[in-house]
């Protein structure tokens, strides 16, 4: 039996990965899961409860990936599981309207993933404005959406290729890419194409090149520019929606976009995406308007049930202050620790979203994110894994806390981080 330094076996995960690789490209159904960003074998999970997950070798971890965001209430949250069971018992899909869709909606059109939402949002913005070009930011990720898979973040970065093979030049010919936090570059894009830009799409807090915050004035600047130039502002809040505040970044920062894309938490761990905005814009979707949008499983009743149960639980008093307190406790704990051990770092927390870079200088965009020490991150990741903490398997991802992360879990994480740092620095 192969064992790592702390006696934890990953034998079953290893052989499960070997078997998976024979039938699934790369052994995974979503790129980041392959651990390319940190090396080693992906851990195969068997179950989760609260803030903890168990792998198929029987190892337990405190989880900071939380299915990449949807599980803000924790794994297997009883109210959500009950709602899913009840909905499934009534039938899994009808391809016809159900009342649950209306209950969850506030002028939104539902689809089945974040990528579908951003793709429909672009089409809507183009249809609405009659313009063709889109501005996106390097390092922002908007799902596996061809037109936006240029300088994309997340797993596109993990594999070291922010641009995907198979995306034609024609498909991205109308995608203008500018650095995050660079209003001058956005202004220059409008100067170069004064009447052609349909929309700016932005992760208002970027969570797919690591966790990178907008500089003061950046989002307000985008709002002002788009308004003045007749373009729409799309906030991709698939990750930040219901996470950094009940109303996402737009509520926190007091800046209202024209179109919002949502997903992840909205589906409570089931496949959901949504495009939201004022009726004046949304009504351009078919059947009332002329911008096509459709999906066989859109507004799926089980996903709606999970979403309704999740949002209902999030509405209970004290939820968001608690999430923020946990996020801050984790970020501050790590910050103190890295400080004491003189490890160059940048740490951020907003609500239930946390991130850190092993970087000397502030990270404000993709270039500065890429200057972080990814090799050290990979070693830190594995040292934490051995100590029962599951971080994102890449420096270029954010971390997520849930309602199930309590003081004890956060403090155990900080202790594990101290032990990991001691081990790493001793062998450096
Ligand atoms: C995860 C994510 C997406 C894609 O959502 P999928 O459901 O994976 O298609 C889009 N935008 C952002 C900001 C995301 O974090």
238 close to ligand 1 (CB < 6 Angstrom): yes
175 close to ligand 1 (CB < 6 Angstrom): no
Residue from 264, 320, 377, 390 carrying the catalytic annotation: 264
Q: Please confirm, yes or no, whether 264 is among the known catalytic residues.
A: yes
- At residue 159 the predicted structure's pLDDT band, cuts being 50, 70 and 90, is low
203 close to ligand 1 (CB < 6 Angstrom): yes
pLDDT at 298: 93
Peptide bond into 287 cis (omega under 30): yes
33 close to ligand 1 (CB < 6 Angstrom): no
Residue 334 has pLDDT above 80, yes or no: yes
114 close to ligand 1 (CB < 6 Angstrom): yes
Task: Indicate which atom in ligand 1 lies nearest the CA of residue 114.
Answer: 5
Q: Across residues 120-141, what is the average pLDDT?
A: 97
Residue 160 has pLDDT above 80, yes or no: no
Could you tell me if 182 and 197 are in contact, meaning their C-beta atoms sit under 8 angstroms apart? no
Q: Across residues 226-230, what is the average pLDDT?
A: 98
143 close to ligand 1 (CB < 6 Angstrom): yes
Domains of the chain (ranges plus CATH)?
80-314 (3.40.640.10)
- At residue 17 the predicted structure's pLDDT band, cuts being 50, 70 and 90, is very high
Q: pLDDT exceeding 70 applies to what percent of the chain? A: 96
**Residues 277, 218, 67, CA angle at the centre, nearest 5°?**
60
180 close to ligand 1 (CB < 6 Angstrom): no
141 close to ligand 1 (CB < 6 Angstrom): yes
Phi, psi of 33, rounded to the nearest 5 degrees = -65, -15
Overall pTM surpassing 0.85 (yes/no): yes
pLDDT tens digits along 369-399:
999 999 999 999 999 999 999 999 999 999 9
Angstrom distance (rounded) from CA 354 to CA 349: 4
pLDDT at 170: 87
CA of 399 to the centre of ligand 1 (A): 15
Residue from 55, 236, 258, 365 carrying the catalytic annotation: 236
Q: How far is CA 136 from the centre of its chain?
A: 16
Both tokens assigned to 48: 């989760």
- Beta bridge partners, 197, equal 133
pLDDT tens digits along 275-326:
999 999 999 999 999 999 999 999 999 999 999 999 999 999 999 999 999 9
Nearest to 244 by CA among 392, 76, 400: 400
Task: Indicate which atom in ligand 1 lies nearest the CA of residue 208.
Answer: 15
Q: Please confirm, yes or no, whether 77 is among the known catalytic residues.
A: no
Could you tell me if 34 and 26 are in contact, meaning their C-beta atoms sit under 8 angstroms apart? yes
CA of 118 to the centre of ligand 1 (A): 8
Residue 161 has pLDDT above 80, yes or no: no
Out of 31, 136, 211, 239, mutate this one to test ligand 1's pocket (max ligand atoms within 8 Å of CB): namely 239
pLDDT tens digits along 28-41:
999 889 999 999 99
Mean model confidence pLDDT for the chain = 94
Q: Whose CA is nearest to atom 5 of ligand 1?
A: 114
Task: Indicate which atom in ligand 1 lies nearest the CA of residue 154.
Answer: 15
């Amino acid at each position: 039996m192969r064992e790592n330094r702390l006696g934890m076996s990953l034998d079953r995960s290893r052989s499960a990965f070997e078997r998976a690789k024979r039938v699934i490209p790369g052994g995974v159904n979503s790129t980041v899961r392959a651990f390319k960003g940190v090396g080693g074998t992906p851990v195969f999970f068997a179950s989760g409860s609260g803030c903890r997950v168990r792998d198929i070798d029987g190892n337990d971890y405190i989880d900071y990936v939380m299915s990449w965001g949807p599980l803000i209430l924790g794994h297997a949250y009883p109210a959500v599981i009950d709602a899913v069971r009840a909905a499934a018992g009534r039938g899994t899909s009808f391809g016809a309207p159900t009342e649950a869709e209306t209950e969850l909606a506030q002028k939104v059109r539902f689809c089945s993933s974040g990528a579908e939402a951003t793709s429909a949002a672009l089409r809507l913005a183009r249809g609405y404005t009659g313009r063709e070009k889109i501005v996106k930011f390097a390092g922002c990720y908007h799902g596996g959406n061809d037109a936006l898979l240029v300088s994309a973040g997340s797993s596109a970065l993990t594999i070291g290729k922010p641009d995907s093979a198979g995306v034609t030049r024609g498909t991205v010919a109308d995608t203008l890419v500018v650095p995050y936090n660079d209003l001058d570059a956005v202004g220059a894009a409008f100067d170069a194409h004064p009447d052609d830009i349909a929309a700016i799409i932005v992760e208002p807090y970027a969570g797919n090149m690591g966790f990178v915050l907008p500089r003061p004035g950046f989002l307000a600047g985008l709002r002002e520019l788009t308004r003045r130039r007749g373009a729409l502002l799309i906030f991709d809040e698939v990750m930040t929606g219901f996470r950094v505040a009940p109303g996402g970044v737009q509520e926190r920062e007091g800046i209202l976009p024209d179109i919002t894309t949502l997903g992840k938490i909205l589906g409570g761990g089931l496949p959901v995406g949504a495009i939201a905005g004022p009726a004046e814009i949304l009504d351009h979707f078919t059947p009332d308007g002329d911008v096509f949008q459709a999906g066989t499983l859109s507004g799926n009743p089980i996903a709606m049930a999970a979403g309704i149960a999740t949002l209902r639980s999030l509405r209970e008093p004290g939820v968001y202050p608690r999430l923020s307190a946990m996020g801050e406790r984790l970020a501050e704990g790590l910050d103190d620790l890295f400080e004491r051990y003189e490890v160059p770092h940048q740490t951020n927390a907003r609500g239930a979203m946390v991130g850190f870079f092993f970087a000397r200088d502030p990270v404000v965009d993709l270039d500065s994110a890429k200057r972080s020490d990814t090799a050290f991150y990979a070693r830190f990741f594995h040292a934490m894994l051995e100590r029962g903490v599951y971080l994102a398997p890449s420096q270029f991802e954010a971390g997520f806390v849930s309602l199930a992360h309590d003081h004890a879990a956060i403090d155990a994480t900080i202790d594990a981080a101290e032990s990991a740092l001691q081990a790493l620095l001793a062998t450096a």
